[in-house]
A and B are shown apart, each in its own frame.
Chain A
């Protein structure tokens, strides 16, 4: 634990901040004597960049707000404090036949963090964002006032806080609507595809019949092979799967911080092509325990350390349908040409279900997520990807960003000034100061 807990998942940038723990939902936001600096709620630090950091200020650690309040197993309604981890929720609800309506690719995020970034999952094309399934929450402001927020009560605060990056105040408790499931297993099908055109056609076909879809692509491939990869699609298992023995993984933690050399061009190429070739058949169907399907990376523990102490950068953008395909091609060409590659390159189509969140990132189109070691060359590459995203009318995901310019941000999120009216006068973050600061 220790101070290590208060960094972001990308381990970049580094920040110095005072930490105060919030222990009880009905008590005021903790404050040190006479402190006047800015504060920011902190969940579990699973954001990659600086949206969960407040350099020079204070973090309000909400992880101790980890109590359940009420669970209705008939209706599938759960009320809990904001610092509860999705992993704790899953442990409670899966044995009783319920699942999270939307889940990210790690279960180690708090429900407050899930709202503040209005996260999305592999079922975005069906279910939209996490915020679409939040029925109510309480917002605690730094002046001590509390607001019950829902579609009906304080709807403008409801909307500003979903995707509000922790800037509107502290969410103390949340009520969500769960999804019924018949089994803790999912039926997963993996299909190999040779290029981007195939990706788009498999996606379109799958999105109507599969609840979960996502693709992994080999971003070292060029030319005709550009955009080759594996498409994974799945549905929750039927009741007959219920009795099956689960093949849960056990979490391992990278014991030391290996040198950044680990992530070099050779290992990247090897990993990317191995992953692709690993699957001999063009199509494979498997029954998986939900944990190994939804959270494969959690099994590796703190895999973020493999990039070394300088940390790494994620880039997740969404490109709207209109010219998404060509912008995507342009992007993948730029990445392949840079030789920087990426360990994890995920591709998915977002659907058109609208989120109540004012500042939500997802919008209809194709989303691409990449990660790079934190080097100047990678930062140059990402600047050029931003140009493509801006021209295409897309956006970059703040939860994963540590470097976009104020100019890019303000183009991606044109409502930022409207949103700023809802920011708590005491709240700020490293991210917010960066993207609303003067242009370089």
Chain B
């Protein structure tokens, strides 16, 4: 039975994932910034079989609260062995080109809050010499492109940070999973009206996340077909890539 903390628990991908862990009878600590949403999810997870569900309200960018929330999770569940970080923001690229504040908000939400939380969680788990950290990054971090590079660079940094963290925690018996979803039909993508065949449903991504956590995978692309696609995207020479329009 896991003792699982989820940051960004109201995300569609996180909620679908939590349902699977609930069916396994796990204990959970849900963190998000909207209490009514968290309560709706908590009730659902209880019905689906979670052994315990507790919640805490926190804006991820409010890093003064991070230490308190991690402590609360440990106290509520009497321990902590699995952490899933799912929150994220993806504003329109053009907005972040016009306003440094908008760009900063992306970096703070997607990168800095993750670094802050992981510092606390990694040190705790390293000391306990056990644990698993899973973070939702993105295929968008594999290569910067004009339509999405502010968001993409925040995810690229998250992926690199996780790589190093995995390397560091390896000897402590703590595992780090980098999750790179492709296109997922969630509220984050609501402004793109045409959902083509590349879009996956959150429930499908959730299955992949649970499998990756249970099997202690290092880096997963979800669905898996994104791995070869991103291999090609990364292999294109910059001289060619910079001319592309997508």
Interface residues of A (CB under 8 A from B): 1-2, 21, 23-26, 64, 67-71, 80-81, 92
Q: Which of B43-51, B69-77, B95-103, B127-135 binds A?
A: B43-51
Is B228 part of the binding interface, using a Cβ–Cβ cutoff of 8 Å?
Answer: no
Closest to A26 in B: B36
30 A-B residue pairs with Cβ-Cβ distance under 8 Å, sorted by A, are A1-B195, A1-B201, A2-B194, A2-B195, A2-B196, A2-B197, A21-B187, A21-B190, A23-B187, A24-B36, A24-B37, A24-B40, A25-B40, A26-B36, A64-B12, A67-B41, A67-B43, A67-B44, A68-B44, A68-B48, A69-B40, A69-B44, A69-B47, A70-B43, A70-B47, A71-B47, A80-B47, A81-B40, A92-B47, A92-B48
With the chains together, A176 CA to B201 CA distance in Å?
28
Interchain nearest-CB distance for A189 vs B (Å): 36
Neighbouring B residues of A23 by C-beta, 8 Å = 187
User: Mask for B176-212, Cβ within 8 A of A = 1, else 0?
Assistant: 0000000001010010001111010100000000000
Known: A23-B187, A24-B36, A26-B36. A1 touches B199 (CB 8 A): yes
A sample of 19 more A-B contacts (CB under 8 A), given A24-B40, A80-B47, is A1-B195, A1-B199, A2-B195, A21-B190, A23-B187, A24-B36, A24-B37, A25-B40, A67-B43, A67-B44, A68-B44, A68-B48, A69-B40, A69-B43, A70-B47, A71-B47, A81-B40, A92-B47, A92-B48
B194 nearest in chain A by CB position? A2
Nearest 3 pairs of A and B residues by beta carbon: A68-B47, A67-B44, A71-B47
Contacts of B197 in A (CB 8 A): 2
Q: Find out whether the CB atom of B43 lies under 8 angstroms from the CB atom of A1.
A: no
Q: Once the chains are docked, how many angstroms separate the CA of A67 from the CA of B185?
A: 18
Q: Smallest CB–CB gap between B38 and chain A, Å?
A: 11
User: CA of A66 to CA of B12 in the docked complex: distance in angstroms?
Assistant: 12
C-alpha spacing A23/B48, complex, angstroms: 19
With CB as the reference atom, state the residue of chain A lying closest to B48.
A68
**How many Å from the CB of A403 to the closest CB on chain B?**
31
State whether B185 touches A1 (Cβ < 8 A): yes
B-chain residues with CB within 8 Å of residue A69 when the two chains form the complex = 40, 43-44, 47
In the assembled complex, the CB of B117 is this many whole angstroms from the nearest CB of chain A, namely 25
Instruction: Say how far A290's CB is from chain B's closest CB, in angstroms.
Output: 20
**Shortest beta-carbon distance from B97 to chain A in Å:** 23
Q: In the bound complex, what is the Cα–Cα distance between A25 and B195 (angstroms)?
A: 24
With beta carbons under 8 angstroms apart, the residue of A2, A21, A24, A68 that contacts B43 is A68
Residue in B36, B43, B199 whose Cβ sees the most chain A Cβ within 10 Å: B43
Min C-beta distance of B182 to chain A, whole Å? 15
* Residues of B contacting A64 in the complex (Cβ-Cβ under 8 angstroms): 12
In the complex formed, the residue of A with least CB distance to B39 is A26
**Shortest beta-carbon distance from B39 to chain A in Å:** 9
In the assembled complex, the Cα of A69 lies from the Cα of B48 at a distance in Å of 10
For B194, list chain A residues within 8 Å (CB): 2
List the A side residues contacting B201 at CB < 8 Å.
1
CB-CB < 8 A to A67: which residues of B?
A: 40-41, 43-44
State in angstroms the CA–CA spacing of A412 and B53 once bound together: 50
B40: chain A residues within 8 A (beta carbon):
24-26, 67, 69, 81
Please report the C-alpha to C-alpha distance between residue A24 and residue B197 in the assembled complex, in whole angstroms: 26
Interface 1/0 per residue, B30-68 and A, CB below 8 Å: 000000110011011001100000000000000000000
Task: Tell me, rounded to whole Å, the shortest Cβ–Cβ distance linking A61 to chain B.
Answer: 11
Contacts of B43 in A (CB 8 A): 67-70
The distance in angstroms between the C-alpha atoms of A24 and B37, with both chains bound, is 7
Find the residue from A26, A67, A80, A92 having the highest chain B CB count within 10 A.
Answer: A67
The residue in chain B whose Cβ has the minimal distance to the Cβ of A19 is B193
Residues of B within 8 A of A1 (CB): 185, 195, 199, 201
Q: How far is the CA of A369 from the CA of B3 in the complex (A)?
A: 52
Residues in B with CB closer than 8 Å to A25 are 40
A23 to B188 alpha-carbon distance, docked (Å): 12
Task: For the complex, give the distance between the alpha carbons of A440 and B99 in Å.
Answer: 58
CA distance A378 to B48 in the complex (A): 46
Residues in A whose Cβ lies below 8 Å from that of B47: 68-71, 80, 92
Q: Which residue of A lies closest to B196 (CB)?
A: A2
Residues of chain A contacted by B12 (CB below 8 angstroms): 64
Nearest residue in A to B44 (C-beta to C-beta)? A67
* Complex: A70 Cα to B48 Cα, angstroms: 10
Q: Which residues of A contact B185 (CB under 8 A)?
A: 1
CB distance from B58 to the nearest CB of A (A): 19
| Chain A residues closer than 8 Å to B195, beta-carbon distance | 1-2
Measured CA separation A245–B194 after assembly (Å): 44
For the complex, give the distance between the alpha carbons of A26 and B34 in Å.
Answer: 12
Shortest C-beta distance, B204 to chain A (Å), equals: 11
Distance in Å from the Cβ of B199 to the closest Cβ of chain A?
Answer: 7
Q: How long is the Cα–Cα vector from A81 to B43 in the complex, in angstroms?
A: 11
User: Closest approach, in angstroms, between the C-beta of A17 and any C-beta of chain B?
Assistant: 12
* In the bound complex, CA of A243 to CA of B47 (Å): 24
In the docked arrangement, what's the CA distance between A68 and B40, Å?
8
In the complex formed, the residue of A with least CB distance to B201 is: A1
User: Which chain B residues border A71 with CB–CB below 8 Å?
Assistant: 47
Of all chain A residues, the one with the shortest Cβ separation from B199 is A1
Contacts of A80 in B (CB 8 A): 47
Beta-carbon nearest neighbor of A78 in chain B: B47
List A contacts of B41 (CB < 8 A).
Answer: 67
A92 vs B195: C-alpha distance in the bound complex, in angstroms? 31
Contacts of B36 in A (CB 8 A): 24, 26
Q: What's the least CB distance linking B243 to chain A, in Å?
A: 30
Most A CB within 10 A of own CB, among B40, B43, B195, B199: B40
Bound CA span A24–B13, Å: 15
CA distance A313 to B76 in the complex (A): 56
Contacts of B196 in A (CB 8 A): 2
The CA-CA distance from A2 to B195 in the complex, in Å, is 6
